[in-house]
Structure 1
């Protein structure tokens, strides 16, 4: 979770002013706030997250302690491919997250035979990632979703209207699942090159190569 830090600083002679920080990870903001608090010159400390929620120092400290043992700092890469010849779709997703001070990567793909277009496959791939997040026990956290489908990301973010009935059904399913899990999404459009991992997983699914793994990594992917 990313936050901004707002603090009121007071000098020994009584002069005071308010400072606002850049956006940073909550853990980093907490370290800075606690360090500044030790000066004895901070009057108020407030944290604001990307969802518009505000936190006191005590509340943020408690929250970070509670989620430490759960998956957090989540980034999802997704991609879907549609084979016009076989009418089959390959779905792929890679989920990067942290848990117990360690970094992990989950990879999953699936072959689907009930879709009709590439855009449907892209939506289905994102929905597959939500099912995997649910299996991980993710709830009430912000999640970054990265993909190369301008249609899916712009429709889900509300920038483009969703006129096709089938795509609208997928959008509703995704939004319902996110609401159920309490996920606050952040959508980021990336190039096909940067989405190579999810694309490869989708291609493997079309080749009937099943992938399902979850392994620790030395560092989290940014």
Structure 2
């Protein structure tokens, strides 16, 4: 999760100036806060997360220690493939995250029956990725979701309406899962060429090749 700093800076004439930072990673935010406090010119220093929760420096250090071994800095790529002849879908997900000081990648796929369209397969792939996050124990964190399906991402952002009953049911399911995990999602539409790994996993699922692999990124 990213954090923003807000503080009061005291000028030489004792005038107080309110200041704030951009969004920073927890580690950088703490280092910045320590240097600000060391200057002796800062008061009322607070950290804020993207949900508006606030901490002082001591509380923030404790928080980062507690979550250090939990997955964080999560980016999810998803894609769905559809086979009209069999009404089967292939679901693909690639998840990048940090745990402690190490970076990992999960590649996973699944075959899903009784689909109606390629659009439905995209929704199912997104939900599949959420289930993986749940299994990882991800809670109360920011997550970026990247896919080449503009429709689902714009609908999740609330920018586009969804008129199909089947897709609306998937949207409800996805939104409920995001809420239950207390995620703070960011939705990013990417070109298809940048989603090749998730697309390949979806295709492999349709071919009956089941994959689940967690890899340490060096």
User: Normalising TM by the smaller chain, what interval?
Assistant: over 0.9
Return 5+ residue gaps in structure 1 as ranges: none
Q: CA deviation at 1:16?
A: 2.8
Q: CA deviation at 1:85?
A: 2.6
Aligned to 1:7: 7
Aligned to 1:48: 48
Aligned to 2:109: 109
Aligned to 1:145: 145
- Report the secondary structure of 1:195's partner residue: helix
Q: CA deviation at 1:206?
A: 1.2
Matches within 5 A, 1:101-180: 101-180=101-180
**Residues 116-157 of structure 1, C-alpha deviation per residue, up to 9 Å, x if partnerless?**
111110000011111111111111111111111111101111
**Residues 94-136 of structure 1, C-alpha deviation per residue, up to 9 Å, x if partnerless?**
1111112110101110111111111110000011111111111
Aligned to 2:216: 216
The 10-residue stretch of structure 1 (51-60 or 150-159) with the greater mean CA deviation from structure 2: 51-60
RMSD, aligned α-carbons: 1.4
In the alignment, the residues of structure 2 paired with residue 142 and residue 37 of structure 1 have an alpha-carbon distance, to the nearest angstrom, of 27
**Residues 4-53 of structure 1, C-alpha deviation per residue, up to 9 Å, x if partnerless?**
22121114542331222222212211111111111221112122222233
Return 5+ residue gaps in structure 2 as ranges: none
In the alignment, the residues of structure 2 paired with residue 207 and residue 38 of structure 1 have an alpha-carbon distance, to the nearest angstrom, of 60
In the alignment, the residues of structure 2 paired with residue 196 and residue 53 of structure 1 have an alpha-carbon distance, to the nearest angstrom, of 37
Q: CA deviation at 1:175?
A: 1.2
Q: How many residues align?
A: 218
User: Does the aligned pair in 1 maintain the 2:111–2:205 contact within 8 Å?
Assistant: yes
In the alignment, the residues of structure 2 paired with residue 162 and residue 51 of structure 1 have an alpha-carbon distance, to the nearest angstrom, of 26
User: Does the aligned pair in 1 maintain the 2:50–2:184 contact within 8 Å?
Assistant: no
In the alignment, the residues of structure 2 paired with residue 71 and residue 163 of structure 1 have an alpha-carbon distance, to the nearest angstrom, of 36
- TM-score when scaled to structure 2? 0.95
Q: CA deviation at 1:56?
A: 2.2
1:195 aligned onto 2:187: no
The 10-residue stretch of structure 1 (35-44 or 55-64) with the greater mean CA deviation from structure 2: 55-64
Matches within 5 A, 1:8-27: 8-27=8-27
The 10-residue stretch of structure 1 (6-15 or 104-113) with the greater mean CA deviation from structure 2: 6-15
